[in-house]
Chains A and B, each alone.
Chain A
């Protein structure tokens, strides 16, 4: 997300300033919630790639102020330092590192979470395939944590860029959730490939026990998970038919809402 002068002119940017959100991204989560009621019945939350913290702000306001759940728990993680938010535990760490996931599990003290979200985006290099791979690693890391901490029936939301392998991801997530939707909030620019994968109704894999080990890569972690991620084939042959599904797309937010592509 470039911070060009264009952002400044954006209505959502101005509105975020007025309403006290640290970033215009807050509206994306709010608009996702309008469509999917993802905050309902939620008490324990992990907010990955959270800096500067507008999603944590939204969650904090919702759980503590609106829903008045005093025992709610929000853990926010990012590579970047974050200004503290009421009721939010901040961890500065790399989510692709297994150690970080352990740390998060520890903070929850064995209790499951109801909602895991990740708005992560790496610094892009400009090599599209490498950038897509790193983005996929962020999502897989978030999913890794999710399988270790999310309660059955829980919700997972992650930022995606709809590139060439997005159908692989839809397909893999469909094994783990009742419903998987690719949602595009009105506050996310139409000119950007950004969208959010909203995964509802977590259904843990029956024959597979997720186990976080310090020296396992994400690929190794998911080996045997039965989510259609291809392992190395015999003779290292090139996989021809990998599970690819085109996800259901949903534009969220009212059409009469402000258009993030418009300039005034």
Chain B
């Protein structure tokens, strides 16, 4: 069994010179940062079983020590970078809290009982010598600690204890200097700054505390974290005062500033910096690389730029008024703004029709020349849009007239021209939309009178062409966004109630096509093109209340058709828009009081801005990887600029997986171009869809948020359909397809719960293809068994069997096929395996039947049967079961003259030292077993005699589930738990 890939909690991080060192469980990964680009240069498993919780580097920079649990290992930095680790893994007999080099030859190890080992590590032959053990006479258990070497030769130990206290003691004198007891609960992080004058600590009580080590006084508290805080760092540069970084259980990273006399001031907050729970590790280099890094339970390592942060410019009305030398009317305020990025211009219009140009390079505000009559047309109503590519601004007024402003490079004043609207009659304009496709630029005028057509204008250097589009004959077709596809000349309008209108603008006589209510939800907030091919357009629709869709549009026999090929819901807030960039889906919107920009593919927040919420004037502009979020707050114009420094994957230097434990994993039955689909279902209730490549790496594409309860099982039915089950009787069927080699998915159907307030868990399910769909069985935590016929085209479930086992919880279910019969087999918490014959009850509908008398009921395990693998043979099955009782059993199942018989052939009482959690097939008479003792065992059987062929430790804690596939005779195994790992069986 050979490990291929591992994704799991990032337990330690260290920035040194141009490198980021990451303790990735037992693996040390080194990334190099050069010119804002990062690259993985080395990755090696350096501990057999233990995780790297701490990394330190000697002052000369020659040596590195990694440590964690009882293990430590001293390496030369050069060897580490070259992937040639020198000395071997060492250990002490207690938990190591941290290590520090006294010099290149001497290592100090602080253990969890507050004792420091002095170790001579000079031997090249790895013959380390424990030369001293030093303690301060206070040996309570430590959760955290650090060692600081000072310029004056002193060595200070900061020890964070399990209850309330931080002990500061001197390594040389062995004296306790301070015992700080201001915290409540365990201390999870403690650091002394490089001068030895300050100490910071964090704990259970959600506070960061800063102490003065010269007088033992507490200087400040930092409040803000919503739960426990795990990690703290001082900034190195203290010339502008003390600054601190903290990370914690609430998945935030916070940067703090200390000002004497005040509590710590939070200067930066990165929310949702990682998925799920816990940012375990972080480090900062504010002097050289000017970045900070964070590592989460989600297995991601992220680098964050430290220079370009917090760049919000603010301009009050008074400031603008002074700059343009014009008094504003007392009630005048900023109505809208648009950007012309090529010219670095921001154009602003006020409620009284003043138009101002702000040059973002020269920082100059200029008032544009308008006649009083012109300004008056925009009194209290204007809609401004920009055609960025041709540097044109369009401003529509209520009667539909449009002021066109053409800007040139150097000229301070644009060319002005008016487009007078004659079509609206007495109606008023309600919306002006713009769209560009290739080199054509359009505007669309919308008015509420359905008799008045939409007015479509095409702008070019030679002038404006006008055409008309019949309005959808529907009272409430409110336009919200527009896009134009140049390949097919189709114009698509988004509206409320997730409705679309489509026009073929190459064909004037073509009628409008309307698709209503494409999904649940409210307003389509944006429509954009994902892919455009001849007669096949894929658009992205974002819906305000959180749904986003990929929709295929095509024209068949002159009729437009649509198909939703991908659908998901964001659980993080409202979506105001989105786009696809470099094959990654980026969404933006609001959540309570802030605006966010979110990379849905990478599952990271790119940034957020606390602006007071969505109820204000705001605009979002983007240019490649840079963007601006402009908003009005208390009548002040605020411009948030974001320039991405690490553009590759937005600074995610190591990909990860779920932020919580993985409860179920499955791999698709077929491979395509060397990869298969992989689905994982996690404690955090999300389902992830990714690709499992033949080298064992897992590439994650989507996180599906449809489930809201604790996940139980996920399985493929075939290459196109899979299902997942959870608590609250959630059972969903998923359908997969592909878009340019990216897997996409929709929730195809869901089973209606049997109760209004469902509280049963659907523990497991199984299915086989039948007629136009599947026969599916679902088993429940209250002992209920149900069998359904699911019709694919009707997307409907028909209940065909319902019955109950006993009162105990059923853990798993399988359909078996023997002698032309269909058998239903369950394993339950009472350790029994039970089987029914349901051959005569399989149907596409009809009356709901009960089960007959069970034909097998046999106790195999002492309690819960946690895993079952049925292996089909000619005329019989081999049934392998693993239990909570550590036992593994091989039985055979066959008909003996019409009577089904289950016979135990081999019983291994102590097959694992803890609960067996999964069994996966690995071909002929061989299978793989995982258990909570973190050992993967490969078992084989000959003449029904089980024997353990090999056992390997897995780095995934809480080992809970697995699935395997066989490709060209090679077995690939995926194991889920607190992380995900993949293996190859040679």
Contact = CB atoms under 8 A, between A and B. Distances in A.
Contacts of A216: 139
Chain B facing A: main interface SS: loop
A57 B137 CA distance: 38
Contacts of B807: 258-259, 262, 264
B933 A163 contact: yes
Interface in A86-125: 94, 96-98, 123, 125
B760 interface: yes
A135 B20 CA distance: 33
A187 to B, nearest CB: 12
B184 interface: no
A1 interface: no
Contact of B11 (A127, A233, A262): A127
A217 B94 contact: yes
Interface stretch (A25-33, A172-180, A245-253): A245-253
Given A96-B162, A215-B135, A249 B93 contact: no
Interface stretch (B112-120, B560-568, B791-799): B112-120
A6 B49 CA distance: 35
A246 B130 contact: no
Contacts of B430: none
Contact of A164 (B53, B93, B185, B957): B957
Interface in A37-71: none
A128 B25 CA distance: 11
Nearest to A133: B95
Interface in A204-227: 215-220
A193 B915 contact: yes
Contacts of A232: 92-93, 130
B163 A94 contact: yes
A97 B140 contact: yes
Interface string A231-264: 1110111110000101111110001001101111
Interface string A170-214: 100000000000001010001001000000000000000000000
B781 A249 contact: no
Contacts of A230: 93
Contacts, number: 170
B202 to A, nearest CB: 13
A42 B94 CA distance: 35
B759 A263 contact: yes
A72 interface: no
A250 to B, nearest CB: 7
A134 interface: yes
Among A170, A238, A250, max chain B CB count under 10 A is at A238
A238 B128 contact: no
Interface residues of B, number: 83
B912 A246 contact: yes
A263 B781 contact: yes
Interface on chain A toward B: helix, strand, loop, or mixed SS?
loop
Given A162-B933, A163-B933, A229-B93, A251 B831 contact: yes
Contacts of B863: 184, 186, 190, 251, 255
A127 B9 contact: yes
Interface in A110-154: 123, 125-130, 133-134, 137
B966 interface: no
B759 A9 contact: yes
A238 B91 contact: yes
A37 B186 CA distance: 38
B829 to A, nearest CB: 5
Contact of A126 (B162, B278, B933, B935): B278
B247 interface: no
B885 A249 contact: yes
Contacts of A9: 759
Nearest to A231: B93
A110 to B, nearest CB: 25
Interface string B741-763: 00000000000000000011100
Contact of A261 (B123, B781, B932, B933): B781
A166 interface: yes
Nearest to B887: A249
A219 B129 contact: no
B214 interface: no
Nearest to B278: A126
B910 interface: yes
A8 to B, nearest CB: 11
A202 to B, nearest CB: 23
A86 to B, nearest CB: 30
B139 A249 contact: no
A198 to B, nearest CB: 15
Interface in B78-101: 88-95
Contacts of A164: 49, 914, 932-935, 957
Interface string A8-20: 0100000000000
Q: Which 5 A-B pairs have the closest CB atoms?
A: A217-B113, A128-B957, A162-B914, A259-B808, A251-B862
Interface of B: 9, 11, 48-51, 53, 68-69, 71, 88-95, 111-113, 115, 119, 123, 126-130, 135, 137-141, 143, 162-163, 185-186, 188, 204, 228, 230, 249, 277-278, 280, 297, 759-761, 781-783, 807-809, 811, 829-831, 859, 862-864, 884-887, 909-910, 912-915, 932-935, 957-958, 978
Interface of A: 9, 79, 94, 96-98, 123, 125-130, 133-134, 137, 162-164, 166-167, 170, 184, 186, 190, 193, 215-220, 229-233, 235-239, 244, 246-251, 255, 258-259, 261-264
10 contacts: A123-B186, A130-B95, A164-B49, A167-B933, A190-B863, A220-B113, A236-B119, A248-B909, A249-B887, A261-B781
Given A130-B95, A166-B933, 12 more contacts: A96-B140, A163-B957, A166-B913, A193-B914, A193-B932, A215-B137, A219-B113, A244-B913, A249-B862, A251-B863, A255-B863, A263-B781
